[in-house]
């Protein structure tokens, strides 16, 4: 484990623990408030994220930003990261060995941020953080607690692009997060 953000980021920049490093343009480390009360975790970078080196800047990110605006969430006040830090080819889901190679980096980010709430965006984040036995359809919108952190699984914003009916659930789930933050302020 790394004690500083700089050490952690340097380690990730030099990472070659899985085959994803061979095709990346940039690592996608994470962005936002490094002391955030709320952290969002997605699955992995897409093409836009790989090009820019920042999570959730493509179409799914724009949709997430719109939801943030609707609910009064300041993107600069949350921390956003992914399970894997390099883009899987063709935007496929990260394979288990790829996720395992990055999980200690993600755990280190969580330790450094110290969030009260983590929003798990989609099945890949849910399964890698809470366990393979969880499914996103049954788990989304429900609170889970582990090691004094509350977790809210919800749809990945990319799923909303494929199925607009999920937008309502996504907004409801994020509203629960906002309400929880406001209750504990």
pLDDT grade for 1, boundaries at 50, 70 and 90: confident
pLDDT grade for 176, boundaries at 50, 70 and 90: very high
CA–centroid distance for 80 within its chain: 6
- Domain ranges for the chain: 5-183
**In the chain, % of residues over pLDDT 90:** 98
CATH superfamily of 5-183: Uracil-DNA glycosylase-like domain (3.40.470.10)
Side-chain half-sphere of 130: how many Cα atoms within 13 Å? Answer: 27
Task: Give me the phi and psi of 33, to 5 degrees please.
Answer: -75, 115
pTM check: above 0.85: yes
pLDDT grade for 157, boundaries at 50, 70 and 90: very high
Rounded to the nearest integer, the mean pLDDT of the chain is 97
Mean pLDDT of 103-122: 98
The rounded distance, in Å, linking the Cα atoms of 47 and 57 is 10
Rg of the chain, C-alpha, whole Å: 15
pLDDT grade for 14, boundaries at 50, 70 and 90: very high
pLDDT grade for 156, boundaries at 50, 70 and 90: very high
Q: What 3-state class would DSSP assign to 146? A: strand
Burial of 65 (0-12, 13-18, 19+ CB in 10 A): middle
Around Cβ 167, how many Cβ atoms within 10 Å?
A: 17
Question: What is residue 184's predicted lDDT score, i.e. its pLDDT?
Answer: 84
Residue 94 predicted with pLDDT over 80? yes
> pLDDT digits over 119-133, tens only?
999 999 999 999 999
Q: What 3-state class would DSSP assign to 128? A: helix
Residue 185 predicted with pLDDT over 90? no
């Amino acid at each position: 484990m790394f004690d500083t953000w700089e050490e952690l980021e340097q380690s990730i920049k030099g990472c070659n623990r899985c085959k994803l490093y061979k095709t990346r343009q940039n690592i996608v480390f994470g962005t936002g408030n490094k002391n955030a009360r709320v952290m969002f975790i997605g699955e992995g970078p897409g093409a836009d994220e790989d090009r820019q080196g920042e999570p959730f800047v493509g179409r799914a990110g724009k949709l997430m930003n719109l939801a943030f605006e609707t609910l009064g969430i300041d993107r600069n006040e949350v921390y956003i990261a992914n399970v894997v830090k390099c883009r899987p080819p063709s935007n496929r889901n990260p394979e288990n060995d790829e996720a395992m190679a990055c999980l200690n980096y993600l755990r280190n980010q969580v330790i450094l941020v110290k969030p009260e709430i983590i929003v798990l965006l989609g099945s890949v984040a849910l399964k890698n953080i809470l366990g393979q036995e969880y499914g996103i359809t049954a788990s989304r919108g429900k609170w889970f607690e582990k090691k004094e952190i509350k977790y809210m699984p919800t749809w990945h914003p990319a799923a909303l692009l494929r199925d607009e009916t999920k937008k309502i659930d996504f907004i409801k789930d994020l509203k629960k997060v906002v309400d929880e933050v406001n209750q504990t302020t």
